Structure 1
Amino acid sequence: MALRTPSRRRGPKRDPEGRMPLGSHLRELRNRLVIAAVAVVLGAVAGWFLYNPAIEALSAPLTEAAVAQNREGDIELNFNSVTSPFDLKVKVSVFLGILVSSPIWLWQLWAFVTPGLTRKEKRYAGGFVVVAVPLFLGGAALAYLALPRAVAFLVDLTPDGTVNYVDAQVYLGFVMRILLAFGIAFLLPVVLVALNMVGLLAGRTMLKAWRWVVVVCFTFAAVATPSPEVTAMFTLALPMCALFFLAIGISMLLDRRRAKREGYADLADDEVSPL
């Protein structure tokens, strides 16, 4: 009697509609988080060797503000403990690791959010990831360009005759959070389109909330750029609004194509909506 050779263990099976059991979803989430974390760690190792030029670039807005106000010796970065330089180097390395590994963890995010796409829709996945990486990096770069005015405004509040030794961890933590926040904010339109593609969010639903989207974009930009000049706020808020409206347009186009494909394009919009 011949023995049956054990078959190789394959990944979680999906039904024809792309559904997976809850346990399979959790395992897939765990695996993708591990891959993303390993990518960030490897990027942080590379960032460890780029620490010095990164510090110069991140502290440039503060240095330029001090030079512009002729207060080079009164406004400087300060390390207030023996371990502070090491802690800061680790944080900056992780920050650089997130930037360097963005193509990998963005791909893992996209692959987890859109597991049930049809074969035709999956062809667009690579294109969306290619778009997401420049959006993330572009949002961080745009925030960096608007940062000097905000830092100059805040430093200018230092009274004459006093010194402002800025804690390095506090300042650089503030700068890195702002850059990451705007990078992630520029990714949200891509996530909205992904949710629309899997049928969780209709374009019509997003369009109804456009007023709140505009308010949130301008509020976020105003908080992130505490400068009296409106130019900095508009520089950040207008691209965010444009990206959200672009996501709404793409989602409504996908809804229309989906309605035609399923044969009920003549129904009302609220009946066509997957919600």
Structure 2
Amino acid sequence: MALRRGKPPTPGGTMPLIEHLRELRSRLVRGVLAILIGTIIAWICYEPILDFLTQPYNDIEPLLNERGIDSDIVITGIGGAFNFQIKISLVVGILIASPVWLWQMWGFILPAMHRNEKRWALLLTATGAPLFLAGAALAYVIMPKAMDVLIGFVPDGFGNLVTGAEYFNFIIRMMLVFGVAAEIPLVVVLLNRIGAVSAAQLARARPWTLIGIFIFAAIATPTTDPLTMLFLATPMTVLYLFAELIAKLTDRRKGKRVTAELADDEVSSLDD
């Protein structure tokens, strides 16, 4: 009699753990392959990507020249250009492959969730990505102004050389900070949804929260000018107030639901 090629459970109940590890390995491999393919695509499209990243600097270069400031982006070292291209290609490859590795991550986590939790997880993911991109886009828009202010402190008679690595790190940090800051409403709404914080508590903590937002904006932005800080703190404040409004509406809906359930219980007890 032929034996079936099944997966019989091993003694001690270790099969579920082994299956989870196999699934984790499979999803990790898919995510890494997606990042590798994205990196190759970014390597091939390196020139237009580089033009996009250096456009904020190119926008302010004529203004700097008018003020007598000679500023250039340079790449140092024999292998500096190669390392610079690898770094840019890898970061862009991670961004290109983000739908794949994010979906692999959720594919591993979602089966352990209840139906309601799955719906909220997918909703938050679908909302979080556009918010992050919007924050990164805002950083890209205000970057020329931020660089103009900072490079404008160069004294008369001095030049300014910006290394490619320094410029790239500046852009990435700005876009990451603004992108993460745009996720504030999701965090607030999620905490309110799981019952960790109520709308009333958010309202009482509002003054301290706003102070914390401005402190975070002052520390997180790689620039030292107040204008860039305001560009970050203002949308963060608006998003927080919007999240507080959502929390208020959610608590009101929860309160109506609890009141209706209590009313139904009272009617049932009288009928008995």
The question of a shared fold, defined as TM-score above 0.5 by the shorter chain, is answered with yes
- The yes-or-no answer on 1:44 pairing with 2:39 is yes
Note the 1:122-141 alignment, pairs <5 A. 122-141=118-137
Corresponding residue of 1:201:
196
TM-score between both structures, scaled by the size of structure 1: 0.71
> Amino acid of the residue matched to residue 128 of structure 1?
L
How far has the Cα of 1:110 moved from its partner?
A: 5.9
Q: 1:201 to 1:47 in 2, by over 3 A?
A: farther
Q: AA paired with 1:203?
A: S
Cα deviations by residue, 1:66-120 (Å, 9 ceiling, x for unpaired): 3112179921111110111111112111221233233344555666777765424
Is residue 99–residue 137 contact of structure 1 (8 Å, CA) maintained in 2? Answer: no
One-letter amino acid of the structure 2 residue matched with residue 173 of structure 1: N
Q: How many correspondences in the alignment?
A: 254
In 2: Cα distance, 1:24 partner to 1:241 partner: 45
What's 1:98 paired with? 94
Output the CA distance in 1 between the equivalents of 2:187 and 2:108. Answer: 11
Counterpart position of 1:12: none
Contact kept, 8 Å, 1:221 with 1:237, in 2: the verdict is yes
Q: Which of the numbers 173, 185, 188 marks the counterpart of 1:189?
A: 185
Q: Shift in Å at residue 179 of structure 1?
A: 0.8
Query: Is 93-102 or 248-257 further displaced after alignment?
Result: 248-257
Contact preservation (8 Å) 2:64, 2:71: no
Q: Could you tell me whether the CA contact under 8 Å between 1:43 and 1:98 is conserved in 2? A: yes
User: 2:174–2:222: 8 Å Cα contact kept in structure 1?
Assistant: no
1:239 equivalent in alignment to 2:238: no
Does the CA-based 8 Å contact 2:34-2:97 persist in structure 1?
A: yes
Cα 1:107–1:203 change in 2 (3 A) is: farther
Distance 1:114 1:258 in 2: 25
Q: Which amino acid is 2:150 matched to? A: L
CA distance change for structure 1 residues 218 and 106 in 2, over 3 Å: closer, same or farther?
farther
Q: 1:102 to 1:181 in 2, by over 3 A?
A: farther
Q: Is the 8 A contact 1:29 1:112 kept in 2?
A: yes
Of 226, 229, 232 in structure 1, the residue corresponding to residue 223 of structure 2 is: 226
Q: Secondary structure at the match of 2:72?
A: strand
Residues 75, 164 of structure 2: 8 Å contact kept? yes
CA distance 1:5–1:34, shift in 2 (3 Å): closer
Structure exhibiting the larger radius of gyration computed from Cα positions: 2
- What is the distance in 1 between the residues matched to 2:22 and 2:189? 24
Check whether the contact 1:61–1:152 (CA below 8 A) recurs between aligned residues. Answer: no
Judging by fraction of residues, say which structure has more helix.
Answer: 2
Residue 63 of structure 1 contacts residue 76 of structure 1 at CA under 8 Å; is this kept in 2? no
Matched, 1:211 2:207: yes
- CA shift, 1:143, in A, is 0.6
Structure 2: unaligned runs, 5 residues or longer: 10-15, 263-272
